[in-house]
Amino acid sequence: MSSIDGANTVASGVSSGDDWLPMAADTAFEAGYRTALFVVARITAITATVVSLRLRQQEV
């Protein structure tokens, strides 16, 4: 589910008076999941840079 779909579902739940809290929690979980993926990607990029620099130092 995209974040836009989640926001639309939350908005429709508010307007219809349904219990939308579980959907809000699901959207928050999705945001946390994306943040975790971003952190892993950054750590991977930094590690690759450090390894590359160390290999370059060994060549010289």
Domain span at residue 48 reads 3-59
pLDDT at residue 32 is higher than 80: yes
pTM of structure:
0.51
Domain count, the chain: 1
Which residues are CB-neighbours of 10 under 8 A, at least 6 positions away?
20, 23, 24, 27
Residue of 54 and 18 predicted with greater confidence? 54
Tell me what pLDDT residue 19 has.
61
Q: What angle do CA 15, 21, 22 make, to 5 degrees?
A: 120
